[in-house]
């Protein structure tokens, strides 16, 4: 299995999930949009035309949010989101590792990345299922405070991780 | 922190805000896979790089245009690197012809990766090379770039054509056998004179025509000794006489000519020295043979036209650097104020040969302009200048660089130079 075969599969899976989900909810316009953009992204990836993968990723995340807000099947939305996230990562990986149209990677590098991505995506999906399966009674205010604190901590943590200047070594 | 990470963080915040605003637990759950992704990148963030970079250049001394193999070995002496992008930066004047000079890979501790590719380079000395690396986590959210400098030396010397033997005749020669007439009698090929017969002289050298005289004395033919000589090559590297066009520069032709001449004279066993006169005065002291050729080619590899106001004309040439009455070969496009210097060299007793790449025809060829009044005027001026130099007794080759040097040399310089008699003795 290589990126060339997995990436189209992931894009196809995400586009299909959102198309069918929104079609079932009779949101035909959104379904059509999901199908069309998924098809375009797939085509650009197959032809290696350097697609704006980030835009497609944001669109599909937006679809996942809309689906959840409209009380759509959360499991499918999570699956679609995980597929989109993995597709976005692989698209970026492919563009990083490609120089002048040719992949210039060492042997085993691709498999290693796929393995790690599978672990992270799978773990994220399962972790996201937990709060949906276990119901905890919680005051909304407490919940909002917890979330805002989490966001603040995250922000501070990443402000300390600014990119360093290039090192020059003789 | 890359822009992709910033985007993802912004997305996580947006999802959480929407979840809180709409009071939908499922929307909040969408943030979890994104958070998991970010935390995985955080855990695999690259640490400070500890890479050992070694470069091998084979061969490290090559003629211009010859293929040269570069092997770059990178060893990881630090923590594991999920993704390492390596780009070997080619110096100016070098072009890649085969292999790969860039790579993306992973490196565990003590692992090693090799890049091998082939280049061709212009004439020059290449001392410093840079390798740009970037270590990233496997999602490329964190990047740690670094630049490594390696210093194996590569010298690319000018390629030069093989010339036919150039006949020179300096007033003074050295004590070793060679191809140049020494103006002394002894063993040789060219007839020099006669002397009285002495017992032990070979019979075949007896001059029987003189022996037929009534005085009944015998005379022996003697021949001119052939020896090696001192040859000083001066390469004019003044920027003001150089002509630079889109297709190259006249100076490159001068360098190739100097290399070909040095090879030619050294092959005959002569002692050859070199002065590169331009932004400074580069010198290669006189020497013989293969090692001297390498020294001269290395000096020519580094030669560049330059400006030095103290060396604007040839008057500052250190003629004392050249042994008295030796052969001087000046490779220069020439300018009118060089004429007195050449005449002075002749007056000091040097035999002078001028190989002058023609700047007029070189520039005219660029514009295909051989019929304009400006071209004819410039041509006439140059012709007049060269005649003045020839009148001083110097050999002059006006070399149109579109013509191979071998052809130009064969037509003019492979004939014996004329002996010009002046008051007080014979000069050549």
**Residue A138 above 70 pLDDT?**
no
Q: Would you report the helix, strand and coil content of chain A in percent, each value rounded to 5?
A: 75, 5, 20
Query: Among residues B179, B196, B174, B185, which one has the least CA distance to residue B224?
Result: B185
pLDDT digits (tens, 9 = 90+) for B48-76: 889 999 999 999 999 998 999 999 999 99
- Cis, peptide link before residue B59, omega less than 30° from 0: yes
Q: Do B33 and A128 touch (CB under 8 A)?
A: yes
Task: Report the pLDDT value the prediction gives residue B425, as an integer from 0 to 100.
Answer: 39
**B24 and A CB contact within 8 Å:** yes
Facing A161 at nearest CB: one of B1, B27, B51:
B1
3-class state of residue B133 by DSSP: strand
Q: Which of residues 67-96 of B touch A (CB under 8 A)?
A: 82-83, 85
**Residue B157 above 60 pLDDT?**
yes
pLDDT digits (tens, 9 = 90+) for B112-129: 999 999 999 999 999 888
The arithmetic mean of pLDDT across residues B146-173, rounded, is 86
Task: Report the pLDDT value the prediction gives residue A158, as an integer from 0 to 100.
Answer: 61
**B304 and A CB contact within 8 Å:** no
Query: Among residues B270, B269, B211, B242, which one has the least CA distance to residue B334?
Result: B242
**Residue B231 above 60 pLDDT?**
yes
Q: Which residue has the higher pLDDT, B30 or B226?
A: B30
Lowest-pLDDT choice from A74-88, A100-114, B209-223, B399-413:
A100-114
Task: Report the pLDDT value the prediction gives residue A168, as an integer from 0 to 100.
Answer: 43
Task: Report the pLDDT value the prediction gives residue B182, as an integer from 0 to 100.
Answer: 73
**Residue A10 above 80 pLDDT?**
yes
Q: Do A77 and B26 touch (CB under 8 A)?
A: yes
Facing A68 at nearest CB: one of B9, B27, B103:
B27
**Residue B423 above 70 pLDDT?**
no
Query: Among residues B62, B105, B54, B85, which one has the least CA distance to residue B297?
Result: B62
Sheet of B124-126: strands edge to edge? B61-63, B154-157, B124-126
Query: Among residues B23, B19, B46, B49, which one has the least CA distance to residue B31?
Result: B19
Using the 8-state DSSP alphabet, how is residue B97 labeled?
E
Mutate to test the interface with B, among A71, A76, A99 (most CBs of B within 10 A): A99
**A5 and B CB contact within 8 Å:** no
Q: Quickly list DSSP for B325-352.
A: T-EEEEE----GGGHHHHHHHHHTT-EE
Mutate to test the interface with B, among A73, A93, A95, A124 (most CBs of B within 10 A): A124
The arithmetic mean of pLDDT across residues A24-30, rounded, is 91
Q: Which residues of A touch B145 (CB under 8 A)?
A: 166-167
The arithmetic mean of pLDDT across residues B121-150, rounded, is 90
Q: Name the band, by pLDDT with cuts 50, 70 and 90, for residue B271.
A: very high
Q: Name the band, by pLDDT with cuts 50, 70 and 90, for residue B407.
A: confident
**B139 and A CB contact within 8 Å:** yes
Give percent of chain B with pLDDT exceeding 70: 96
What pTM did the predictor assign?
0.74
Distance CA B175, CA B227 (A): 7
Task: Report the pLDDT value the prediction gives residue A110, as an integer from 0 to 100.
Answer: 85
Strands B351-357 and B395-399: parallel
pLDDT digits (tens, 9 = 90+) for B175-216: 777 777 777 777 777 787 888 888 888 888 888 888 787 777
**Residue A170 above 50 pLDDT?**
no
Task: Report the pLDDT value the prediction gives residue B426, as an integer from 0 to 100.
Answer: 37
Q: Which residues of A touch B142 (CB under 8 A)?
A: 161, 163
Closest CA–CA distance from residue B126 to any residue of chain A (Å): 16
Task: Report the pLDDT value the prediction gives residue A31, as an integer from 0 to 100.
Answer: 94
Task: Report the pLDDT value the prediction gives residue A160, as an integer from 0 to 100.
Answer: 60
User: Which residues 6+ apart lie within 8 Å of A141 measured at CB?
Assistant: none
Q: Which residue of B has its CA nearest to A86?
A: B37
Mutate to test the interface with A, among B4, B30, B99, B134 (most CBs of A within 10 A): B30
3-class state of residue B243 by DSSP: coil
Task: Report the pLDDT value the prediction gives residue A135, as an integer from 0 to 100.
Answer: 62
Contact B127, B27 (CB under 8 A): no
CA distances (Å), origin B325, targets B15, B169, B229: 92, 10, 10
The arithmetic mean of pLDDT across residues A14-43, rounded, is 93
Closest CA–CA distance from residue B386 to any residue of chain A (Å): 53
Q: Which residues of A touch B105 (CB under 8 A)?
A: 105-106, 109
Q: Which residue has the higher pLDDT, B242 or A96?
A: B242
Q: Which residues of B touch A58 (CB under 8 A)?
A: 11
**Residue B305 above 90 pLDDT?**
yes
Q: Name the band, by pLDDT with cuts 50, 70 and 90, for residue B415.
A: low
Q: Which residue of B has its CA nearest to A157?
A: B42
Q: Which residue of B has its CA nearest to A165?
A: B145
Chain mean pLDDT for chain B? 87
Q: Name the band, by pLDDT with cuts 50, 70 and 90, for residue B174.
A: confident
Q: Do A78 and B2 touch (CB under 8 A)?
A: no
Distance CA B253, CA B409 (A): 14
The phi and psi torsions of B306 (rounded to 5 degrees) equal -155, 175
Distance CA A148, CA A143 (A): 9
Q: Dihedral of the CA atoms B181, B183, B185, B188 (nearest 10)?
A: 10
Give percent of chain B with pLDDT exceeding 90: 44
- Count each helix (H run) and each strand (E run) in chain B, helices first: 9, 23
Facing A162 at nearest CB: one of B1, B13, B149:
B1
Query: Is the ipTM of this structure higher than 0.90?
Result: no
Query: Among residues B354, B334, B336, which one has the least CA distance to residue B345?
Result: B354
The phi and psi torsions of A131 (rounded to 5 degrees) equal -65, -20
Task: Report the pLDDT value the prediction gives residue B44, as an integer from 0 to 100.
Answer: 86
CB contact burial B331-367 (16+ within 10 A = b; e otherwise): bbbbbeebbebbbebbeeebbbbbbbbbbbbbbbbee
Residue with tokens 């050249």: B322
Task: Report the pLDDT value the prediction gives residue A136, as an integer from 0 to 100.
Answer: 57
Mutate to test the interface with B, among A65, A96, A160 (most CBs of B within 10 A): A65
Strand partners, B126: B154
Task: Report the pLDDT value the prediction gives residue A100, as an integer from 0 to 100.
Answer: 52
């Amino acid at each position: 299995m290589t990126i060339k075969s997995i990436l189209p599969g992931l894009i196809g899976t995400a586009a299909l999930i959102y198309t069918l989900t929104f079609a079932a909810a009779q949101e035909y316009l959104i379904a059509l949009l999901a199908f069309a953009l998924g098809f375009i992204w797939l085509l650009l990836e197959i032809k290696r035309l350097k697609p704006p993968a980030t835009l497609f990723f944001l669109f599909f995340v937006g679809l996942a949010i809309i689906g959840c807000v409209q009380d759509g099947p959360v499991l499918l939305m999570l699956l679609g989101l995980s597929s989109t996230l993995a597709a976005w990562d692989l698209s970026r990986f492919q563009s990083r590792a490609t120089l002048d149209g040719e992949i210039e990677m060492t042997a085993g590098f691709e498999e290693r990345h796929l393995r790690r991505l599978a672990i992270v995506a799978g773990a994220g999906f399962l972790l996201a299922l937990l709060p949906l399966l276990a119901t905890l009674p919680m005051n909304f205010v407490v919940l909002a405070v917890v979330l805002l604190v989490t966001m603040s901590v995250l922000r501070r943590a990443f402000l300390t991780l600014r990119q360093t200047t290039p090192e020059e070594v003789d | 922190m890359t822009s992709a990470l910033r985007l993802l963080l912004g997305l996580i915040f947006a999802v959480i805000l929407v979840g809180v605003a709409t009071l939908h637990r499922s929307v909040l759950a969408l943030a979890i896979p994104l958070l998991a992704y970010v935390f995985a990148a955080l855990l695999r963030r690259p640490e400070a790089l500890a890479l050992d970079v070694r470069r091998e250049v084979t061969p490290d001394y090559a003629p211009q245009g010859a293929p040269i193999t570069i092997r770059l070995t990178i060893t990881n002496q630090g923590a594991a690197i999920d993704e390492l992008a390596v780009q070997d930066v080619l110096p100016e004047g070098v072009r890649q012809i085969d292999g790969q000079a860039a790579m993306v890979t992973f490196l565990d501790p003590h692992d090693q990766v090799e890049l091998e590719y082939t280049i061709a380079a212009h004439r020059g000395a290449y001392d410093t090379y840079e390798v740009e690396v970037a270590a990233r986590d496997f999602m490329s959210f964190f990047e740690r770039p670094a630049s490594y400098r390696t210093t194996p030396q590569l010298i690319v010397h000018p390629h030069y054509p093989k010339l036919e033997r150039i006949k020179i005749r300096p007033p003074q020669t050295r004590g070793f056998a060679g191809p140049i007439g020494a103006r002394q009698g002894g063993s040789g090929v060219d007839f020099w004179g006669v002397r009285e017969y002495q017992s032990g002289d070979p019979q075949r050298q007896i001059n029987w025509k003189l022996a037929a005289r009534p005085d009944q004395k015998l005379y022996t033919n003697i021949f001119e000794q052939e020896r090696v000589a001192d040859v000083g090559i001066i390469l004019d590297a003044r920027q003001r006489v150089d002509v630079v066009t889109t297709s190259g520069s006249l100076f490159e032709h001068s360098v190739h000519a100097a290399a070909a001449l040095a090879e030619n004279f050294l092959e005959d066993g002569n002692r050859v020295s070199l002065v590169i006169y331009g932004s400074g005065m580069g010198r290669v002291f006189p020497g013989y043979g293969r090692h001297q050729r390498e020294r001269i080619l290395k000096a020519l590899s580094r030669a560049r036209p330059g400006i030095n106001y103290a060396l604007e004309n040839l008057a500052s040439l250190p003629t004392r650097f050249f042994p008295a009455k030796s052969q001087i070969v000046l490779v220069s496009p020439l300018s009118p104020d060089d004429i007195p210097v050449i005449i002075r060299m002749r007056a000091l007793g040097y035999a002078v040969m001028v190989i002058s790449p023609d700047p007029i025809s070189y520039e005219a060829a660029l514009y295909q302009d051989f019929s304009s009044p400006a071209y004819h005027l410039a041509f006439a001026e140059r012709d007049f200048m060269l005649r003045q130099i020839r009148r001083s007794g110097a050999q002059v080759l006006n070399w149109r660089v579109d013509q191979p040097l071998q052809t130009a040399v064969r037509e003019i310089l492979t004939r014996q130079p004329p002996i010009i008699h002046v008051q007080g003795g014979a000069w050549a």
